[in-house]
Structure 1
Amino acid sequence: MDSSVKLCFVATALDGRYREEPMDSFLRFRDTCLKTTAAGRILIAVYYAASPAASCLLRKSPILMRVSGNLLTAIGNRLPKQK
Structure 2
Amino acid sequence: MLYTENELWNEIERCLAEDKEKKFTPGQQCFHNLIHCANPGYFLDRETILYLEEYMAIKRFKVPLASNIDDVVYHRLVIFSAIDEEYNAASELN
Name the TM-score, length of structure 1 as normaliser: 0.31
Structure number, greater radius of gyration = 2
Of structures 1 and 2, the one scoring higher in RCO (CA 8 A, sep 6+) is 1
